[in-house]
Structure 1
Amino acid sequence: MESSGWHLASLLCVAILTFLCHSTQGQANGDCPADGRTWVAFGNNCYCFVHGEEDIPKRYTIEKAKDMCKDFGLLTVHSAEENKFIVDYSPNVWKGSVNVWLGMYYSIDDNQFKWKDESPLTFKNWEEGGMEDLEVPPVDTCVTLHVASGMWESVSCTEQQENGVVCETPQKAAPVKKNGSPVLSALVILSVILILGISAFVWFLQQRSNSGSFLLPSFEYHPPFKAPSADQTCLVEAEEIS
């Protein structure tokens, strides 16, 4: 019983220590590019809202927008939360009504819009009519996001110029630190001491319970040893002779 209790406490201690070590050493934060531009992290991606001169939005063609986001990519939106993030953050960069190019194209083979990375549209936010009422040939169709409303519109890739460019790239995983901070190390040590203290207390309660008394352990009284007197010694000798 005693050995099993200590064995269970030891296993619990090792399990918690392992969890603490992994949780303190395995944490890593995402990282955005350090190319001199301002990148904003949201979810698992980083976004760069391209400024114009003196924060005044300029108008760019789709090709110019792609060139400005070289080595990265134009904005892609895969959820309502991401769409709302673009709408809410844009006023921090631009003033007035801004339309942002989306990294989307119309696939003639599949007869549908796709993102530049060939991923399907898991989220759509077309304005009324949307892509069903295209006014331009599909081969010349691009998509913009209206920051004022958050809705999407299909426009001409060659004739339309928009005044908002947002570059996007996945966050890079930060290197995992092998050595924990002094505070985390102290927490691990305190956790070990606490676990051992609780284990010792539980073992002590088990000992008192097994002794038959919850309050005090039972003791058996033994009177002190006394040497026999001279008369008792003579009686013993007489009995042995007879």
Structure 2
Amino acid sequence: MNEASSGSRALVLFSGGQDSSVCLAWALARYGHVETVGFDYGQRHAVEMEQRSVVREALRSRFPQWSGRLGEDHVLDLRGFGDIGDTAMTQERAFEITEKGLPNTYVPGRNLVFLTYAAALADRRRAKFLVGGMCETDFSGYPDCRRDTLDALQSALNLGMAQDFVVETPLMRLTKAETWALAKQLGGEALVDLIVRDSHTCYRGTRGELHDWGHGCGECPACELREKGWDAWVASGRPELAP
């Protein structure tokens, strides 16, 4: 791994899920000072907001080499935005595909809004790097997860704020199996175990049973992706991600 620059500052979009937890570890391995930001948009799996602090404290206590780099956490209230989405992420409704061919878990423009708010915060926190867990390999087809979307937004943010932000997406080209492998590369089995036990991905907000791959209902799209990635990674021998 590259050594972190002592003067570099990053802001991680941190939901408390598998992907953002891996991204937080990735950022801690690279940057001298890392802060996190979470968004309360009325998501039905609000338990993820509770798990954020659990994951942060577990990283701080179990990985002393990163503890000094982990800075403040910020939570922004975006419930007004969540109210206009009319999706299965904010309402108790069945998971299904819409007439546009997208799952009804898609919240239109969510990542665009998140990154815009994150950039405004980063401007005040003197953070150049914005780190997000967006991925276009194993994902649900959300158009705001694509790298070309984020490249366009990065240009707009820099033009509109007279900044030189860099939107980092370390998982963009990785499968979910490779995301598990990256976790092992970053922090060994200790980080894998932390993500299994403490992170939360399930759209239904189910914590109950602890599966091999983590807590969740095992049936929603998020659980299916996480379990499929875990099974593929285990079947390949639980390797680290190849350099």
- Report the TM-score when normalising by structure 1: 0.22
Structure showing greater relative contact order (alpha-carbon pairs closer than 8 Å, 6 or more residues apart): 1
Max radius of gyration: which structure? 1
- Report the TM-score when normalising by structure 2: 0.22
More helix by proportion, 1 or 2? 2
